[in-house]
Every structure is written in structure tokens, then in C-alpha cells.
Amino acid sequence: MDIRWDNLGEVSLASFGVTIAVVVLFSLAIAAWSRAGGLRGLRGGAAGGGPARVAAGAAVLCFAACLAVAAYGIDLIVPG
């Protein structure tokens, strides 16, 4: 049995990079969500008006990106 070390290294670096990216995106989403005031920022009732809405939108986009990466990973793993 022969191990292709270069391929193993590439896969390890890619998975490490994607993991770091998802953690950073999720952290940014949590920070933006708290800055927006949670659900109040989505409803427009948060103090701050425009900036709270922008923060809520950024949080939703970051959460959606995390969800997309997770769904893609599951799609790669589950056959069919």
C-alpha cells in the first residue's frame, strides 16, 4: 500500500483552510447579530436604525455562507 503524501497534504490544508474560514464567518455573524440587536435589528425596531439593519443583513449573509459550506460538505459526503 502506497500513501500519496502530496495529496494527503493538499486535502489537509484545504480542510484546515475551510475550517478557519467557517469559524471566522460564524464569529463575524455572531458579532454582527449582537451589534444589530438580534431579531429587533431584522424588524427595524433596534436603536440605531440604518446601521443596525446593515449589521443584521451582514449577520444573515454570514450565517447563510456557513450554511452553504456545511450543506456542500454534506453533499460531498452523502452519496446519491
Give the three-class secondary structure for 79.
coil
Tell me the C-alpha distance between 53 and 32, whole Å.
Answer: 10
Q: Give the chain's count of helices (H) and strands (E).
A: 3, 0
Read off the pTM.
0.79
Q: What is the pLDDT of residue 80?
A: 73
Amino acid symbol at 62 = C
- Per-chain mean pLDDT for the chain: 88
Q: Higher-confidence residue: 62 or 79? A: 62
* pLDDT given for residue 26 in this prediction: 97
Q: Over the stretch 32-58, which tens digit does the pLDDT of each residue have?
A: 999 988 766 556 555 567 888 899 899
Which pLDDT score is estimated for 48? 60
pLDDT of the residue at 37: 85
